[in-house]
Structure 1
Amino acid sequence: MIKTLIFGNSGSGKSTLAKMLSEQNNLAHLDLDSIAWQPLTPEQSVPTRMPLTESESLIKSFLAQNSSWVIEGCYSDLLALLLDKAQEVIFLNLSVDDCIVNAKNRAWEPHKYESEEAQNANLDMLINWISEYPNRDDHFSQKSHLALFNRFSGKKEMRTSNK
């Protein structure tokens, strides 16, 4: 049984690593992006976070259905709900510059964007978001990820490179 949490900045390689581990070890894979946001409605132009209790319910459902898993994301509030269930954590603590390069080179993510053009139209905002990682003081910050990493007492690894 494998239960791994992967977290870090946007563009750090969380999804890529999680997909690789999932395929190599036949693990269920949960991208927290898929349960962190409410679906956009035609009236909305800005995504809204799903209430934490709703995301928590979806996490519990995923855990009930899967004994071995890899879960990835940048949401410290959601990751904290999983910390005592994980056997291993991997903190992808890459430089901002490396994350920006990864974001610019990422393939289209159809589960997040309706088209490659829509993804590319969001790139400037994403690069700005990535750049703020070391300075933010929220659930998405380097500070909150480091606190999670330090709090975890099991097997853990901090990677500063995708190599």
Structure 2
Amino acid sequence: MKLVLMGNAGAGKTTLSRKLAAGRDIPCLSLDQVAFTAGVHRRPLADSIKAVLDFIAANDNWIIEGCYADIIEPILAHCETLVFLNPGLHACIDHCRKRPWEPEKIRFASRAGAESGKLDRLGVCVRTTKGRIWLATTPAFV
């Protein structure tokens, strides 16, 4: 399996990747892990792409999930299947509000830091970021 799961924040990419990998020897990579340095600053794009290509080279089977089209596009030739998850804008926002604490993905110093309102910014991002609006409004095909 060489699968890329793409969709907006809160679309269910991580949940689906964990379910698909459960009981199998299939490593999963969240693009959040390679898109950012420590903190909330984006890594140089070339560094992120190299990290993903290194992950692909090190594994016969894999699942990669994320919402970063600039990282996904250059690695598409390596995947067998691309799945676009789109439960709709309101579902994504609701999922972001209810999501469990994922310190490996949401880089705040503590859960308290995320809960102090910073995590709400993710919902704002889902609603307003240019380039993601179409992700939230395109009819689902998965």
After TM superposition, the score normalised by the length of structure 2 is 0.86
Q: Provide the C-alpha distance between the structure 2 equivalents of 1:114 and 1:14, rounded to a whole number of angstroms.
A: 24
Identity of aligned residues (%): 30
Aligned length: 137
Per-residue CA deviation, residues 91-122 of structure 1 (Å, 9 max, x unaligned), is: 11121100111111111112124322222232
Q: Please, which runs of 5 or more residues in structure 2 have no aligned partner? A: none
Task: Kindly report structure 1 stretches of 4+ aligned residues shifted beyond 4 Å.
Answer: 142-145
Work out which of the residue numbers 99, 115, 137 in structure 2 matches 1:106. 99
Q: Provide the C-alpha distance between the structure 2 equivalents of 1:82 and 1:144, rounded to a whole number of angstroms.
A: 20
CA, structure 1 residues 102+144, in 2 after alignment: closer, same or farther (shift >3 Å)?
Answer: closer
Aligned to 2:51: 58
Aligned to 1:124: 120
Amino acid at match of 1:79: I
* Conserved 8 A contact 2:127-2:133: no
Q: Please, which runs of 5 or more residues in structure 1 have no aligned partner? A: 41-46, 146-156
Aligned to 2:110: 115
Q: Provide the C-alpha distance between the structure 2 equivalents of 1:83 and 1:143, rounded to a whole number of angstroms.
A: 20
For the aligned residues, what is the CA RMSD?
A: 2.1
Q: Provide the C-alpha distance between the structure 2 equivalents of 1:80 and 1:142, rounded to a whole number of angstroms.
A: 18
After TM superposition, the score normalised by the length of structure 1 is 0.76
The alpha-carbon deviation at position 142 of structure 1 amounts to: 5.0
